Amino acid sequence: MIMILVFCFICINSVKVEAQSATLIASEVEALKEIATQIGKNNWNFSVDPCSDDKSWVTPKSSVQFKNNVTCICFLSDGAWHVTTISLRGQDLAGVLPPSIAKLPYLINVDFSRNYLNGSIPREWASTKLQYL
């Protein structure tokens, strides 16, 4: 019970400080950097935390033609933030289907539609927990 309360505090505290400090777990920040290279996404701002709702990570405008959205969740089990959704619809991305999404263990929802990503489905994707692609 005490453990749960401690992690709960860390999560809640993260919400408060996320504007100033990185909160996404480091391994997933690295995975996002790899994904950016693989898909040719050059306007994610890694100077700010990917879970911060900063404008490069979440654009409020979304439509059938366009989405730009990375969302995260903080789990009480480990007190860390994890990426759950990546929506990059209609951004003219011209890279390959990114093998490194397999390095985001809590990713369940991906939208790469209306881009020019090519290549075959990466073998690595077999290990993801994706529910929606």
Q: Which is nearer to ligand NAG, 2 or 92 (CB)?
A: 92
CA distance 96 to 3: 42
**CB closer to ligand NAG, 65 vs 118:** 118
d(C-alpha 1, C-alpha 126), whole Å: 36
- Give min distance, CB of 26 to ligand NAG, in A: 18
Place of tokens 């989405």: 67
Residues that bind ligand NAG (CB under 6 A): 45, 47-48, 58, 60, 62, 67, 69, 71, 85, 87, 94, 109, 118-119
Write down the least CB distance from residue 16 to ligand NAG, Å.
18
> What are the backbone angles phi and psi of residue 48, rounded to the nearest 5°?
-115, 155
| Nearer Cβ to ligand NAG (34/111) | 111
Question: DSSP character for 87?
Answer: E
Buried b or exposed e, range 29-42, using 16+ CB within 10 angstroms: bebbeebbebbbbe
Q: How far is the CB of 120 from ligand NAG (least distance, A)?
A: 7
In angstroms, give the least distance from the CB of 5 to ligand NAG: 28
In the bound state with ligand NAG, the residue whose beta carbon lies nearer, of 12 and 119, is 119
Tell me the C-alpha distance between 34 and 117, whole Å.
Answer: 15
